[in-house]
Amino acid sequence: MKRRLTLGVAVCAALLGGGAAVFVAVQPRVSPEAIETAVVRTPELVQRAWHLPVAAAFNSEVTWQSNGSRCGPASIANAFRSIGEEETTEVQVLEGTGKCWTGFCIIGLTLDELAEVARAHTERKVSVLRDLTAEQFREHMKHSNDPDRRYIINFTREEAEDVVFVLDVNENYKPWLIESDRLFKAMDTFDGDRKRGLLMIQ
């Protein structure tokens, strides 16, 4: 069966598990073995993925998040860089938002807060897509190679052959491929009391 490769600029991982008294945010470590068995890094497929319309706009480069709490701002900065926006660093996308002013996003940013950050620095439409069915998610992944769209996904690391190219801003993970059904299952989880989802910039 022929693999269908789509680029989901899915660059934001689940942040910090819930807890009533979290004061210092520490991203859990996942063993290199677990990473290697959970994702696809076949060199030929990764190379092909970098040549897709949206991935090509990144020039085979992802700027890693500066610390474990800033995957969202790093994701926006990378997406903005790929579409020609002026704000292309974490500091620039956070400027004027009042978010993460300590250099850390204490307990991370929710998908809605991340949308606010993105809207502060672009005139493009920014949409939070949450509570999607698997079919709706796959439909968005079909549009992920549209040069006018960027998707940022909020998903958990805990948990057909359609493959999504994830430009992960966490340097420990780096870009990888995953079957769309598995990525959907990782996104279709709760972040606090709300479902995780996609942030679409177009």
Could you give the maximum distance between any two Cα atoms of the chain, in Å?
A: 50
pLDDT at 79: 95
CB 102 within 8 Å of CB 94: no
pTM: 0.71
CA–CA dist 45, 61 (Å, integer): 16
Q: What is the reported pLDDT for 107?
A: 84
What is the CATH topology of the domain spanning 4-15+31-201? Answer: Cathepsin B; Chain A (3.90.70)
| DSSP at 166 | E
Contact in structure between 200 and 129 (CB atoms under 8 Å): yes
Query: Alpha-carbon distance 16 to 66, whole Å?
Result: 16
State the pLDDT at residue 164.
82
CA distance 123 to 85: 10
Q: Classify 187 as helix, strand or coil.
A: helix
Domain coordinates of the chain in residue numbers? 4-15+31-201
Strands (E) located in 48-158: 126-130, 150-155
List beta partners, residue 6. 164
For the chain, the 3-state helix, strand and coil shares in percent, each to the nearest 5, are 30, 20, 50
Q: Report mean pLDDT in 10-residue bins for the chain, 202 residues.
A: 42 33 40 68 86 92 91 95 94 96 90 96 96 92 92 72 79 83 89 90 88
Provide the residue type at 130 as one letter: R
Helix (H) or strand (E) holding 35: helix 32-38
